[in-house]
Amino acid sequence: MSITVNVQEAKTRLSELLRRVEDGEDVVIARAGKPIARIQAAAPRQRDLEAPLLPELPPISTNSLFEPMPEHELSAWEQNSSGDPLAETA
């Protein structure tokens, strides 16, 4: 995403514009409406792999993902299924 600001506004808001560049935006500086320069990040932003993608959701234990599903829950999932399509013969 890119925003365009005039020279005077860029002087006044330089710190804010640099924060936006750090967040991945490009800033175009214009004089009299004509683009003359672009500020962009010197290096691509690296995602923190330890930070959750959706922080508003509680974390899910990965241990429970590999446990066998209880029989009653498995039955509920398969109650309307006609069976394993790979096991059926035409």
Cβ neighbours, 10 Å, residue 58: 7
Q: What does the buried/exposed string (b/e) look like for 9-44 if buried means 16 or more CB atoms within 10 Å of the residue's CB? A: ebeeeeeebeeebeeeeebebeeeeeeeeebeeeee
**Rounded CA separation 42/66 (Å):** 42
Q: Sheet containing 34-39: which strands, arranged edge to edge?
A: 2-6, 26-31, 34-39
* pTM for the structure as a whole: 0.50
Q: Where are the domains of the chain?
A: 2-39
Q: Is the predicted pLDDT of residue 4 greater than 90, yes or no?
A: yes
3-class DSSP assignment, residue 27 = strand
Determine the average pLDDT of the residues in 9-18: 96
Q: What is the band of 63 on the pLDDT scale with cuts at 50, 70, 90?
A: confident
Q: Provide the residue type at 39 as one letter.
A: I
CATH entry 3.40.1620.10 includes domain 2-39: yes
